[in-house]
Amino acid sequence: MRPLIACLLVLALAACDSKPQSPPQGGVPAESVGKVDISQRGKAMPAIPFAEPNGAPATLTQFRGKPLMVNLWATWCAPCIAELPALDALAQRAGDRFRLISVSQDLEGAKAVAPFFAQKGFKALTQYSDQQNVLMAAFGTETLPTTIFFDAQGKELWRVYGAMDWNGARASKLIGDATGG
């Protein structure tokens, strides 16, 4: 299992553009638009465990009943860091329409994520972590950030590989189409 995790980490590092960019107002640069993929539409969310902030096990399936947006990210990934403030604002605006969770893929888990969240002062994002990168493997992605949107029954609607301006028109249309609003 450890060789698989190491391999996934190397692939994720290669896929994550860690070169710092100068985003406008701390957001995602306009040229950093993620690729939308609907090829997995209808696929059920995996019931694979990751960790809640207190270390207790969590699964995506515990969020069924309301649409769910899942963002996989890491503290060492520049595009991930650039989009997190917009995701935090989106989570605040989501209200009852859908739930947004961010799941860190840092191998140090809460040890890396807790100080990062404290420094950034996020108001709506929760510090979930996946030290073993099992969600990346289950979603078949080697790219960070990756964001997946599920309907209330836990079926995938779309995913975005790479950073997205979650305050922009493209993201608003994707989310509006997914939530009916």
pLDDT at residue 96 above 90?
no
Strand ranges for the chain from DSSP E: 35-37, 50-51, 57-58, 68-73, 99-104, 127-129, 146-150, 156-161
Whole-number pLDDT of residue 95: 86
Domains along the chain? 2-16+33-179 (3.40.30.10)
Task: Yes or no: say if 52 and 128 are a contact pair by the CB < 8 Å rule.
Answer: yes
Q: How far apart are CA 123 and CA 96, in angstroms?
A: 16
pLDDT at residue 11 above 50?
no
User: Is there a cis peptide before residue 145, judged by omega within 30 degrees of 0?
Assistant: yes
Which of 13, 24, 126 lies closest to 74, judged by CA? 13
One-letter amino acid for residue 136 of the chain: M
Mean pLDDT computed over 53-69: 95
Mean pLDDT computed over 82-103: 95
What's the mean per-residue pLDDT of the chain? 86
Mean pLDDT computed over 93-101: 93
Task: Yes or no: say if 165 and 86 are a contact pair by the CB < 8 Å rule.
Answer: yes
State the pLDDT confidence band at 180, using cuts at 50, 70 and 90.
confident
**125-146 tens-digit pLDDT:** 999 999 999 999 999 999 999 9
Give all strands of the β-sheet with 50-51 in edge-to-edge order: 35-37, 156-161, 146-150, 68-73, 99-104, 127-129, 50-51, 57-58
**14-54 tens-digit pLDDT:** 445 443 333 433 455 544 579 999 999 999 999 999 999 99
Task: Yes or no: say if 12 and 105 are a contact pair by the CB < 8 Å rule.
Answer: yes
Instruction: Tell me the two tokens of residue 48.
Output: 């694979």
Task: Yes or no: say if 169 and 57 are a contact pair by the CB < 8 Å rule.
Answer: no
Phi and psi dihedrals of 157, rounded to 5? -105, -45
